[in-house]
């Protein structure tokens, strides 16, 4: 079973992110469960959503305590919440930010972890560019696909088409594709740097 | 057809397939998505003929359902928590009148303190109202139980609550096999009322009944639930034939045959329990699970039979009989009277407190070793509790309890697990 | 609907008296073929205003629906005295659910009829003032707001009579009830804001609102018949004295109602979409005191030390009604013709040449003092 935790703030589409992730996995014929951990509606409040992906029926309903991946939609949460709590040693981290981990002063997070599994992505900017709205979730999903290989980009696109229609869907797909390329590129650069 | 869909949406689609004629509901978390989805289906014309009524309170919601059902229409509503209490008078009225209304209860804690998260206190507060109560373990089962519910309610002329854990199920996206309209039509015929308001054949419904006949009327309601004990497994079996899967029934056991310790629970927590039990079985522990699906009527015989071979049981429930202990536990104990079993109660998950597998491991282990008091509160923060008790001992004006505890626990939003 | 025909002794003098009128002018109650929806044998008190009002109202509603009527009833006197186990007086389909939900239950019935395409079957909801103005207020407002196709009839005897005469929001100021006792410096009910439910109904903008009284039963029949020609939310508020609760003689019920009307205490009017379209004029204005005196519930205002100030305040309230609704003629004339002339013009008048045939003529009762 692969467990993902998505952190963000109300209004950023955190819950939708987890849901679309589960839909993407479903499109690949896998079992998936997505659920939120929030309260009454309030924009700006910290929100967490969980997603589990498995090839068997998923029965457990507990929150994801030991995620295999963490997606952080809002970098300001880093000072407020322990978003990395329970992250497995080889876990993936995708952070929505224009700056990289060193620039954010988070280099020590890489201690004892696999650095090629940490990535930052300017998802809000991508969304503004393609969709015209600062909702980073779709870009982050596509970035996650590239980072972890857990889901395919094509599945993310299927999930986008299920959720959105017309031009909005097209624009989101464009954002997703660019995000996927960007992360893929960063991974390549990293691997190249390693082998140099 | 397989879908990856939100629980509420799945339930709404299932209700739609059951061809309801009057839907009336009042918004309350976490049921809102169900009714919104149904409202859209009616407004768009996808669900027709159907009247969707935006009522001004839950009391009105149940009352409109009563009028509609008494006039011969298949009526549906949904609520939770405070809303269920607000309509309590009408809840009793509906069952007293024998109207086959189906209601989804998106189980949620009852305040004060106000809490929107899941536990079973709401529907259990109405356990003696005469309504049947079925508890869904998964969203698939929630879909299936609603279909069975309409059939059961209309056959017996008795209203029924289909209970599904608020947020945990209602707001979870998971895989659901949505039946086809023909399948549902074959299973659920049109509503044929036992009594109906019809100018062609006038009847008076709801007249006063005095001491001369009240006991008999109430006995007959009880008798109907006794009938339900037989019909529920039969309808579940018929469902399996038609739809090809196990859903519903009175109880569902898991790894119980050679278990010396049995964990008993209702609703979605059964999934987490089964995962825990699998892991413990891998370590050689003889532990099993009994899920109760039909809470009312309570399957006394089936529970007793299921616990026939074990030495001890632990009832894990999301409900509390304040001043006494467990609610479900009390019913279970009645089932095993005289069987000489050791029983424990664990109150867990109240107000949506997450129930962790790690906590369950520890709890179940203790149960096996019989190293538990009769009633345990799982993962209780004793430090905070004792602090408040000390506060109350030393100061008369100790302040609101809930606020004190929140203050002690720190910023709530920082926690998620 | 298979109704039992009413025996001549039940309609008696009405039938005889009405034979002089053209058929369309006769009252429904005088007709042996009336539905008799609330059959005799119920357990109402002697002189019960509600039983009288309900009989007229429901028969008129049944007639107005071509015999296709379903009734929802609140808990209260009417429900209790009409269905003493194991009997029922009702000859039409009838449901009693709870005290406060009658409007909602009626909404549900109307919805069921709509969904089943039974557009000819109509729905009436009925309750006392307690079940309407207090505990049933929320559901009533909801039904109004949605404009559900329900005629709601409130039988206002100004208190919770069935449970032993307790105060409701319809209880008039200064009245004695079991919970507004005649002790202390301000005996009886307080002078509050009052709750004018007909006006509140009008504020919802519903198609038809009317007040009626058992002092003018023909007018009551007319209003119910009229309401049944309309669709959407409709409200009729009927003044029904309660001899037991008010401490009046059981043969004085209609007289009490007339005193209330003629003193201006109970204005009788009708309204459409929130605007008053017609009033029943006061024929011989009487001081409020004449209305209060015969009622034991106001007895504490009289005697050795009469509460003149309280009585004056009650008079002021009546005067305000008279002013507000135009209950007296312009010149204070009291001729029959003046009653019709002074009516404000209808907002939605009938096309030229058509008349509302239903409107009964007023009769001038001679001889008796009111």
B7-36 in b/e form (b: 16+ CB < 10 A) is bbbbbbbbbbbbbbbbbbbbebbbbbbbbe
What tokens appear for C32 in the block?
């042996």
Return the percentage of chain B with pLDDT > 70, whole number: 98
Residue of C nearest to B210 (CA): C85
CA dihedral C85, C91, C94, C98 (to 10 degrees): -40
CB contacts, 8 Å: C39 with chain B: none
A147-177 in b/e form (b: 16+ CB < 10 A) is bbebbbbebbbbbbebbbeeeebebbbbbbb
CB contacts, 8 Å: B59 with chain C: 100-101, 104, 138-139
Residue of B nearest to A59 (CA): B271
pLDDT band at A41 (very low <50, low <70, confident <90, very high): low
Tell me phi and psi for residue C343, to 5 degrees: -65, 135
Are the beta carbons of C77 and C48 closer than 8 angstroms? yes
Contact flag B55-C84 (C-beta cutoff 8 Å): no
Contact flag B414-A35 (C-beta cutoff 8 Å): no
pLDDT band at A37 (very low <50, low <70, confident <90, very high): confident
Residue of C nearest to B207 (CA): C83
CA distances (Å), origin C183, targets A46, B2, C155, C301, C359? 60, 73, 29, 12, 46
Q: CATH no. for residue A53? A: 3.40.920.10
Give the SS3 label for residue B97: helix
d(CA B321, CA B294): 19
Pick from C362, C9, C17, C11: nearest CA to C218: C362
Question: Of C85, C108, C116, which has the smallest distance from its Cβ to B208's Cβ?
Answer: C85
User: Domain limits at C39?
Assistant: 35-341
Could you tell me if C85 lies within 8 Å of chain B, comparing CB atoms? Answer: yes
- Cα of B16 to nearest chain A Cα, Å: 21
Pick from B247, B228, B292, B199: nearest CA to B98: B228
CB proximity under 8 Å: C 30-69 to B: 67-69
Q: CATH no. for residue C39? A: 3.40.50.970
Contact flag C1-B199 (C-beta cutoff 8 Å): yes
Chains C and A touch (3+ CB pairs under 8 A): no
Omega cis (within 30) before B30: yes
DSSP character at residue C281: P
| Mean predicted confidence (pLDDT) in B282-289 | 98
CB contacts, 8 Å: C146 with chain B: 53-54
CA atoms within 13 A on the CB side of B186: 11
Q: Which residues contact B78 (CB under 8 A, 6 or more apart)?
A: B25, B31, B34, B35, B103, B104, B105, B106
Q: Is residue C43 part of a domain?
A: yes
Contact flag A22-B417 (C-beta cutoff 8 Å): no
Question: Of C90, C139, C145, which has the smallest distance from its Cβ to B204's Cβ?
Answer: C90
- Cα of A193 to nearest chain B Cα, Å: 37
Which residue of A61, A65, A155 to mutate against B (max B Cβ within 10 Å)? A61
A5 DSSP β-pair partners: A50, A70
pLDDT band at C31 (very low <50, low <70, confident <90, very high): confident
| Mean predicted confidence (pLDDT) in B25-44 | 94
Q: Does the structure show a pLDDT above 80 at B136?
A: yes
Q: What is the DSSP string of A34-82?
A: EEEE--S--TTSEEEEEEEEESS-----S--SS-SEEEES-GGGGGTS-
Output the average pLDDT for chain C.
Answer: 88
Are the beta carbons of C331 and C281 closer than 8 angstroms? no
Using one digit for the tens of pLDDT, what is the confidence trace for C38-64? 998 999 999 999 999 999 999 999 999
pLDDT of residue B411: 55
Q: Does the structure show a pLDDT above 60 at B416?
A: no
- Cα of B78 to nearest chain C Cα, Å: 15
Contact flag A35-B171 (C-beta cutoff 8 Å): yes
Could you tell me if A190 lies within 8 Å of chain B, comparing CB atoms? Answer: no
Of B262-266, B400-404, C299-303, C361-365, where does mean pLDDT reach its minimum?
A: C361-365
Q: Is residue C365 part of a domain?
A: no
Pick from A6, A10, A33, A23: nearest CA to A155: A23
pLDDT of residue B168: 96
| Mean predicted confidence (pLDDT) in A150-169 | 96
Q: How many interchain CB pairs under 8 A, A with B?
A: 80
Contact flag C95-B60 (C-beta cutoff 8 Å): no
Q: Does the structure show a pLDDT above 90 at A81?
A: no
Strand ordering across the sheet containing A118-121: A118-121, A92-96, A69-72, A2-9, A46-54, A31-37, B173-177, B2-6
| Mean predicted confidence (pLDDT) in C255-277 | 97
d(CA B401, CA B408): 11
Could you tell me if C3 lies within 8 Å of chain B, comparing CB atoms? Answer: no
Q: Which residues contact A80 (CB under 8 A, 6 or more apart)?
A: A46, B414
Q: Does the structure show a pLDDT above 90 at A109?
A: no
pLDDT band at C357 (very low <50, low <70, confident <90, very high): very low
CA distances (Å), origin C153, targets B66, B211, C50, C92? 20, 31, 11, 16
CB contacts, 8 Å: B73 with chain C: 108, 111-112, 115-116
Which residue of B21, B197, B200 to mutate against C (max C Cβ within 10 Å)? B197
B→A contacts (Cβ < 8 Å), by residue, are 2, 4, 6, 29, 116-117, 167-168, 171-175, 268-272, 274-275, 354-358, 413-414, 416-417
pLDDT of residue C361: 42
Q: Give the H or E element holding residue B165.
A: strand B160-165
Name the percent of chain B in helix, strand, coil, to the closest 5.
Answer: 45, 20, 40
Q: For chain B, what's the residue count?
A: 417
Pick from C355, C147, C298: nearest CA to C233: C147
Domains and their CATH numbers in chain B: 2-243 (3.40.50.970), 252-377 (3.40.50.920), 390-414 (no CATH)
Q: Which residue has the higher pLDDT, C347 or B369?
A: B369
Contact flag C115-B198 (C-beta cutoff 8 Å): no
Contact flag A31-B173 (C-beta cutoff 8 Å): no
Pick from A31, A86, C19: nearest CA to B139: A31
- The residue with tokens 């955190």 is A14
What tokens appear for B308 in the block?
């026939």
Question: Of B271, B414, B416, which has the smallest distance from its Cβ to A37's Cβ?
Answer: B416
Using one digit for the tens of pLDDT, what is the confidence trace for A118-131? 999 999 999 999 99
Give the SS3 label for residue A163: helix
Q: Does the structure show a pLDDT above 90 at B247?
A: yes
CB contacts, 8 Å: C70 with chain B: 71, 197, 199
Question: Of B51, B69, B200, which has the smallest distance from its Cβ to C115's Cβ?
Answer: B51
Of A184-188, B215-219, B301-305, where does mean pLDDT reach its minimum?
A: A184-188
d(CA B256, CA C290): 83
Q: Does the structure show a pLDDT above 50 at B415?
A: no
Residue of B nearest to A19 (CA): B173
pLDDT band at B147 (very low <50, low <70, confident <90, very high): very high
pLDDT of residue C338: 41
Q: Is residue C151 part of a domain?
A: yes
Contact flag A34-B172 (C-beta cutoff 8 Å): yes
pLDDT of residue C128: 97
pLDDT band at C362 (very low <50, low <70, confident <90, very high): very low
pLDDT band at C337 (very low <50, low <70, confident <90, very high): very low
CA distances (Å), origin A80, targets A7, B218, B274, C296? 11, 57, 35, 72
pLDDT of residue A102: 86
d(CA A30, CA A51): 12
As to burial, measured by CB atoms within 10 angstroms (0-12 exposed, 13-18 middle, 19+ buried), residue C124 is buried
User: Domain limits at A59?
Assistant: 2-195
Contact flag A35-B116 (C-beta cutoff 8 Å): no
pLDDT of residue C367: 32
pLDDT of residue C1: 46
Give the SS3 label for residue C71: strand
Q: Say how many domains are in chain A.
A: 1
| Mean predicted confidence (pLDDT) in B191-215 | 96
Using one digit for the tens of pLDDT, what is the confidence trace for C183-241? 998 999 999 888 999 999 999 999 999 999 999 999 999 999 999 999 999 999 999 99
C125 DSSP β-pair partners: C72, C152
Could you tell me if A40 lies within 8 Å of chain B, comparing CB atoms? Answer: yes
Question: Of B167, B172, B175, which has the smallest distance from its Cβ to A31's Cβ?
Answer: B175
Could you tell me if C88 lies within 8 Å of chain B, comparing CB atoms? Answer: yes
CB contacts, 8 Å: A85 with chain B: 417
- Cα of B215 to nearest chain C Cα, Å: 14
pLDDT of residue C75: 96
Q: How many interchain CB pairs under 8 A, B with C?
A: 161
Using one digit for the tens of pLDDT, what is the confidence trace for C287-323? 999 999 999 999 999 999 999 999 999 999 999 999 9
Q: What subunits make at least 3 CB pairs under 8 angstroms with C?
A: B
Question: Of A19, A65, A80, which has the smallest distance from its Cβ to B173's Cβ?
Answer: A19
What tokens appear for B287 in the block?
């532990």
Q: Which residue has the higher pLDDT, C353 or A192?
A: A192
Contact flag B50-C108 (C-beta cutoff 8 Å): no
Using one digit for the tens of pLDDT, what is the confidence trace for B155-171? 999 999 999 999 999 99
Q: Does the structure show a pLDDT above 50 at A65?
A: yes
CB proximity under 8 Å: C 210-249 to B: none
Contact flag B172-A31 (C-beta cutoff 8 Å): no
Are the beta carbons of B231 and B152 closer than 8 angstroms? yes
pLDDT band at C369 (very low <50, low <70, confident <90, very high): very low
pLDDT of residue C348: 56
Omega cis (within 30) before B49: yes
- Cα of A131 to nearest chain B Cα, Å: 25
CB contacts, 8 Å: B6 with chain A: 19
Supply the pTM of this predicted model.
0.91
Q: Does the structure show a pLDDT above 50 at C359?
A: no
Question: Of B62, B71, B207, which has the smallest distance from its Cβ to C109's Cβ?
Answer: B71
Q: Does the structure show a pLDDT above 60 at C350?
A: no
pLDDT band at A80 (very low <50, low <70, confident <90, very high): confident
pLDDT band at B413 (very low <50, low <70, confident <90, very high): very low
Q: Is the dihedral of CA B112, B116, B120, B125 positive or negative?
A: positive
């Amino acid at each position: 079973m692969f467990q993902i935790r998505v952190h963000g703030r109300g209004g950023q589409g955190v819950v939708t992110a987890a849901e679309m992730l589960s839909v993407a996995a479903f499109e690949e014929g896998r079992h998936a469960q997505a659920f939120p951990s929030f309260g009454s509606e309030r924009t700006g409040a910290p929100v967490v959503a969980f997603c589990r992906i498995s090839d068997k029926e998923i029965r457990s309903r507990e929150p994801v305590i030991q995620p295999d991946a963490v997606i952080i939609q809002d970098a300001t949460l880093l000072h407020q919440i322990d978003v990395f709590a329970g992250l497995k040693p080889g876990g993936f981290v995708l952070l929505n930010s224009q700056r990289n981990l060193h620039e954010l002063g988070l280099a020590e997070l890489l201690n004892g972890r696999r650095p090629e599994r940490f990535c930052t992505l300017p998802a809000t900017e991508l969304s503004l560019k393609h969709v015209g709205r600062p909702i980073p979730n779709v870009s982050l999903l596509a970035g996650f696909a590239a980072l972890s290989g857990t889901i395919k980009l094509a599945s993310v696109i299927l999930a986008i088409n299920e959720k959105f229609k017309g031009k909005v869907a097209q624009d989101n797909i464009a954002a997703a594709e660019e995000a996927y390329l960007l992360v893929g590129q960063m991974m390549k650069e990293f691997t190249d740097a390693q082998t140099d | 057809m397989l879908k990856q869909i939100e629980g509420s949406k799945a339930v709404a689609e299932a209700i739609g397939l059951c061809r309801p004629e009057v839907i009336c509901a009042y918004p309350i978390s976490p049921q809102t998505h169900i009714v919104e989805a149904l409202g859209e289906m009616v407004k768009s014309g996808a669900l027709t003929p159907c009247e969707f009524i935006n009522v001004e309170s839950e009391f009105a919601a149940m009352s409109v359902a009563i009028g509609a059902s008494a006039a011969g229409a298949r009526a549906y509503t949904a609520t939770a928590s405070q809303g269920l209490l607000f309509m309590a008078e009408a809840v009793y009225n509906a069952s007293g009148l024998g109207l086959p209304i189906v209601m989804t209860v998106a189980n949620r804690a009852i305040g004060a303190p106000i809490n929107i998260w899941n536990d079973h206190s709401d529907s259990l507060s109405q356990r003696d109202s005469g309504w049947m109560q079925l508890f869904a373990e998964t969203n698939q089962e929630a879909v299936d139980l609603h279909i069975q519910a309409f059939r059961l309610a209309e056959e017996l002329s008795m209203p029924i609550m289909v209970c599904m854990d608020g947020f945990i199920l209602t707001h979870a996206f998971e895989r659901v096999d949505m039946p086809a309209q023909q399948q549902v039509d074959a299973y659920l015929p049109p509503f044929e009322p036992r009594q109906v308001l019809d100018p062609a054949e006038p009847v008076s419904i709801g007249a006063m009944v005095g001491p001369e006949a009240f006991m008999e009327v109430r006995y007959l309601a009880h008798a109907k639930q006794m009938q339900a004990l037989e019909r529920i497994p039969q309808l579940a079996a018929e469902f399996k034939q038609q739809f090809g899967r196990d859903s519903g029934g009175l109880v569902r056991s898991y790894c119980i045959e050679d278990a010396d310790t049995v964990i008993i629970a209702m609703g979605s927590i059964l999934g987490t329990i089964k995962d825990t039990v699998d892991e413990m079985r891998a370590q050689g522990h003889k532990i099993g699970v009994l899920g109760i699906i039909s809470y009312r009527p309570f399957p006394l015989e089936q529970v007793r039979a299921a616990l026939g071979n074990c030495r001890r049981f632990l009832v894990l429930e999301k409900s509390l009989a304040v001043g006494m202990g467990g609610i479900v536990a009390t019913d279970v104990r009645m089932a095993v009277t005289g069987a000489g079993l050791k029983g424990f109660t664990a109150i867990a998950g109240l107000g949506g407190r997450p129930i962790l597998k790690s906590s369950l491991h520890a709890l179940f282990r203790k149960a096996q070793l019989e190293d538990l008091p009769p009633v345990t509160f799982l993962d209780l923060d004793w430090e905070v509790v004792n602090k408040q008790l000390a506060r109350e001992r030393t100061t008369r004006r100790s302040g609101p309890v809930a606020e004190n505890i929140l203050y002690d626990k720190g910023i709530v939003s920082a926690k998620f697990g | 609907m298979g109704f039992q025909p009413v025996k001549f002794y039940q309609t008696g003098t009405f039938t005889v008296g009405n034979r002089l009128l053209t058929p369309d002018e006769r009252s429904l109650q005088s007709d042996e073929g009336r539905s008799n929806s609330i059959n005799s044998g119920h357990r109402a008190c002697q002189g019960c205003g509600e039983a009288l009002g309900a009989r007229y109202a429901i028969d008129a509603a049944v007639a107005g629906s071509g015999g296709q009527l379903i009734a929802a009833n609140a808990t209260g006197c009417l429900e209790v005295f009409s269905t003493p186990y194991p009997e029922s007086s009702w000859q039409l389909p009838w449901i009693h659910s709870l005290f406060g939900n009658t409007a909602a239950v009626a909404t549900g019935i109307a919805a069921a009829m709509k969904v089943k395409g039974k557009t000819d079957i109509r729905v009436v909801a009925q309750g006392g003032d307690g079940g309407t103005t207090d505990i049933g207020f929320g559901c009533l407002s909801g039904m109004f707001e949605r404009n559900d196709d329900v005629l709601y009839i409130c039988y206002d005897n100004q208190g919770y009579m069935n449970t032993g005469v307790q105060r409701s929001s319809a209880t008039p100021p200064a009245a004695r009830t079991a919970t507004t006792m005649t002790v202390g410096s301000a005996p009886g009910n307080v002078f509050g804001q009052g709750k004018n439910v007909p006006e509140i109904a009008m504020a919802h903008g519903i198609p038809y609102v009317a007040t009626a009284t058992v002092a003018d039963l023909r007018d009551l029949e007319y209003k119910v018949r009229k309401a049944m020609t309309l669709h959407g939310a409709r409200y009729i508020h009927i003044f029904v004295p309660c001899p037991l609760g008010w401490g009046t003689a059981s043969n004085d019920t209609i007289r009490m109602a007339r005193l209330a009307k003629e003193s201006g205490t109970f204005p009788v009017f009708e309204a459409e979409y929130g605007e008053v379209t017609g009033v029943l004029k006061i024929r011989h204005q009487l001081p409020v005191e004449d209305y209060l005196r015969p009622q034991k519930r106001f007895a504490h205002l009289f005697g050795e030390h009469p509460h003149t100030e309280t009585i004056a305040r009650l008079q002021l309230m009546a005067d305000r009604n008279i002013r507000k609704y135009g209950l007296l003629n312009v010149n204070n004339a009291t001729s029959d013709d003046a009653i019709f002339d002074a009516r404000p013009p209808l907002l939605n008048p009938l096309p030229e040449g058509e008349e509302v045939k239903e409107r009964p003529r007023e009769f001038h009762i001679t001889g008796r003092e009111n």
